[in-house]
């Protein structure tokens, strides 16, 4: 059971309904049980919160932010030379598909090396992993970029571990029953940091482009080959999606209000503007959200919230989500503290506590399989995108069987290749 008290009166109306601002949580709060209550409330209602006093030194954030701007200002050809490919999920790209639609942005993904040793050459064989190899610009092309990004990455890894611990405490009544899961994730996480650049783009015109965004996805709208969709409120930088991993730490510009969170989830009305609440970043804060794996581990108590990004008609926007992900071979399953025990596990001994718990809602989900399918779906159309709903008990999804077959043949120390596994992956769902 989660804490009783939502712990954040600024986020709840007097009648218990939510106000339309995502909660702000102070990580330096010395009252740990209040902090845990606040995290439970935020993750189970919005799935989003803004974190202040998070402990990452402002100087490291500033250095990282300016390195990111320097990178995107490089000549297009230099960035293209770092392009990710069908068998390397890491690198530069400007053609991402979210929900099978192209986004209006450029991005660079870097992730924890397979060797977990940043001092090796990026293309060293020991650095191979399911997500591939990092592709940093050279020091001549972008001085100090690599060091600064790695420093920020390491800070995010540490902060993520701290947040994941608080989240599991929140789900287990303040008891750390999930120490093994947390420790496996700490030492073998497969996290990556995405740097995003959203060029200015208004409803009907995008500077630098003579073409209007209200075109089909396949039209070239930008000299980089972008295509865009329009929401009634503007062009979408990223279509509505949920983050796949355990949690995300998002660094965003505080003067751009482009990130929106779905307040109500009803797939029939996902495009309607009244479903979306804009995040107004508190200066110095980081925006945290829970992902699909946290939703499964929490047996559905934590939300993996839908969110989207609008472009801005006048301003450039930079953002950097750090996705904290489990080990590829981890089967994420609902924590014991969130589920009723079955009779043979001793439910009768603890009936009162059990009555407050929920029955098991999800099958275990192999993170490496989920990740591989999301990446494959970013690049090509494999059919319906994999979702946590495919792992719901009773959903009859073929993914349960496919992930078992995948686990039997996959080598997580090798870059993922869609074609090699297509015979398993192609979906009938």
Ligand X SMILES: O=C(O)CCC(=O)C(=O)O
Report the SS3 class of residue 232: coil
Q: How many CA atoms lie within 13 A of 85 on its CB side?
A: 11
- Specify the residue, 149 or 339, whose C-beta has the smaller distance to ligand X: 149
> Which residue of 319, 325, 388, 403 would you call a contact of ligand X, by CB under 6 A?
319
State yes or no: residue 8 binds ligand X (CB under 6 A): no
What is the total count of residues that contact ligand X (CB under 6 A)?
11
Sorted by sequence, the CB contacts under 8 Å of residue 36 that are 6+ apart come out as 3, 7, 166, 169, 170, 174
Instruction: Please identify, using beta-carbon distances, which residue of 109 and 243 lies nearer to Fe ion.
Output: 243
Token pair 């001092």: residue:
119
Regarding 293 and contact with ligand X (CB under 6 A), the answer is no
Least Å from the CB of residue 323 to Fe ion = 8
Tokens 């279509």 sit on residue: 239
Using a 10 angstrom Cβ sphere, with 0-12 exposed, 13-18 middle and 19 or more buried, the burial of residue 351 is: exposed
Q: Which helix (H) or strand (E) holds 102?
A: strand 101-102
Q: Which is nearer to ligand X, 195 or 425 (CB)?
A: 195
Longest dimension (CA), the chain: 71
Give the helix/strand (H/E) hosting 192: strand 192-198
Q: Which is nearer to ligand X, 171 or 250 (CB)?
A: 250
CB of 244 to ligand X, least distance (A): 9
How many positions of this chain bind Fe ion (CB under 5 A)?
1
**Least distance from C-beta 238 to Fe ion, angstroms?**
7
Residue nearer to ligand X on the CB measure, 67 or 410: 67
- Binding residue (CB under 6 A) for ligand X from 42, 142, 166, 250: 250
> Residue 292, interface with Fe ion (CB under 5 A)?
no
Residue 111 structure tokens: 């992730």
Under the binding rule (CB under 6 A), the answer on residue 309 touching ligand X is: yes
Measured from the CB of residue 291, what is the shortest distance to ligand X in angstroms? 9
- Minimum distance of ligand X from residue 32's CB (angstroms): 29
For residue 92, the surrounding DSSP H or E stretch is: strand 91-93
Which tokens go with 153? 């990455």
Nearer residue to Fe ion within complex by CB, 178 or 243: 243
Q: Is residue 194 a contact residue for ligand X (CB under 6 A)?
A: yes
- Under DSSP, the state recorded for 269 is G
d(CA 302, CA 307): 15
Residues in a beta bridge with 192: 111, 323
Nearer to ligand X among residue 182 and residue 304 (C-beta): 304
194 binds, among ligand X, Fe ion, none (CB under 5 to 8 A by kind): ligand X
**Phi first, then psi: what are they for 289, rounded to 5°?**
-140, 155
Instruction: Show Cβ contacts of residue 334 under 8 Å, excluding neighbours closer than 6 positions.
Output: 296, 297, 298, 299, 300, 360, 361, 362
310 touches ligand X by CB under 6 A:
no
Position of tokens 């015109």?
Answer: 205
| Bridge partners for 276 per DSSP | 262
Distance CA 7, CA 45 (A): 13
149: enclosing H helix or E strand? helix 145-171
Nearer to ligand X, 303 or 307 (CB): 307
CA 220 to chain centre: 28
State the nearest-atom distance from the C-beta of 393 to ligand X, in Å: 28
Smallest gap from residue 95 Cβ to ligand X (A)? 14
Please, which residue, 169 or 373, has the CB nearer to ligand X?
373
Task: Kindly give, in sequence order, each residue whose CB lies less than 8 Å from that of residue 49, ignoring residues fewer than 6 positions away.
Answer: 22, 23, 24, 25, 38, 39, 42, 43, 287, 288, 289
Candidate list 84, 307, 361, 390; residue touching ligand X; CB under 6 A = 307
Minimum CB separation from ligand X for residue 256, in Å? 9
259 lies in the binding site for ligand X (CB under 6 A): yes
Minimum distance, C-beta of residue 242 to ligand X, in the bound complex (Å): 9
Find the length of the chain.
Answer: 429
Q: Cβ of residue 400: shortest distance to Fe ion, in angstroms?
A: 25
Residues 239-278 that bind Fe ion (CB under 5 A): 243
| The binder of ligand X chosen from 37, 106, 243, 330 (CB under 6 A) | 243
371: contact with ligand X by CB under 6 A: no
**Residue 259 contacts which entry, ligand X, Fe ion, none (Cβ below 5-8 A, type-dependent):** ligand X
Binding mask 92-131 for ligand X (x = CB under 6 A): ----------------------------------------
What are the two backbone dihedrals, phi and then psi, of residue 334, each rounded to the nearest 5 degrees?
Answer: -55, 135
| Interface residue list for Fe ion (CB under 5 A) | 243
| Interface residue list for ligand X (CB under 6 A) | 194, 196, 238, 243, 250, 252, 259, 307, 309, 319, 321
């Amino acid at each position: 059971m989660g804490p009783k008290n939502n712990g954040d009166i600024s986020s709840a109306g007097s009648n218990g309904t939510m106000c339309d601002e995502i909660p702000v949580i102070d990580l330096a709060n010395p009252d740990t049980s209040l902090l845990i209550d606040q995290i439970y409330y935020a993750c189970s209602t919005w799935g989003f919160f803004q974190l202040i006093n998070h402990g990452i030194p402002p100087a490291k954030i500033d250095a990282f932010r300016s390195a990111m701007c320097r990178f995107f200002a490089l000549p297009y050809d230099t960035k293209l030379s770092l392009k990710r490919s069908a068998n390397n999920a890491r690198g530069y790209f400007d053609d991402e598909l979210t929900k099978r639609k192209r986004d209006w942005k450029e991005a660079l993904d870097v992730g924890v090396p397979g060797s977990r040793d940043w001092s090796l050459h990026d293309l060293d064989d020991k650095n191979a992993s399911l997500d591939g190899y990092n592709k940093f610009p050279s020091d001549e092309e972008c001085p100090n970029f690599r060091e600064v990004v790695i420093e920020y990455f390491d800070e995010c890894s540490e902060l993520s571990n701290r947040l994941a611990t608080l989240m599991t405490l929140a789900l287990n009544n303040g008891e750390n029953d999930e120490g093994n899961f947390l420790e496996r994730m700490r030492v073998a996480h497969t996290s990556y940091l995405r740097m995003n650049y959203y060029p200015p783009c208004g409803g009907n015109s995008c500077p630098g482009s003579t073409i209007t965004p209200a075109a089909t996805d396949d039209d070239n709208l930008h000299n980089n080959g972008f295509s865009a969709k329009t929401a009634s409120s503007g062009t979408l930088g990223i279509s509505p999606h949920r983050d796949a991993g355990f949690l995300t730490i998002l660094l965003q510009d505080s003067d751009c209000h482009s990130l929106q969170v779905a307040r109500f989830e009803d797939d029939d009305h996902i495009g309607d503007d009244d479903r979306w609440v804009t995040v107004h970043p508190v200066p110095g804060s980081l925006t945290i959200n829970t992902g699909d794996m946290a939703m499964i581990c929490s047996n559905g108590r934590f939300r993996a919230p839908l969110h989207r990004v609008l472009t801005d008609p006048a301003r450039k926007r930079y953002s950097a989500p750090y996705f904290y992900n489990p080990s590829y071979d981890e089967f994420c399953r609902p924590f014991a503290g969130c589920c009723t025990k079955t009779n043979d596990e001793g439910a009768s001994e603890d009936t009162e506590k059990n009555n407050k718990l929920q029955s098991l809602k999800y099958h275990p989900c192999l993170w490496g399989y989920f990740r591989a399918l999301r990446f494959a779906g970013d690049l090509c159309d494999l059919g319906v995108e994999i979702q946590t709903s495919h792992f719901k008990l009773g959903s009859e999804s073929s993914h349960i069987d496919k992930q078992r077959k995948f686990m039997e043949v996959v080598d997580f120390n090798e870059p993922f290749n869609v074609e090699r596994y297509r015979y398993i992956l192609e979906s009938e769902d």
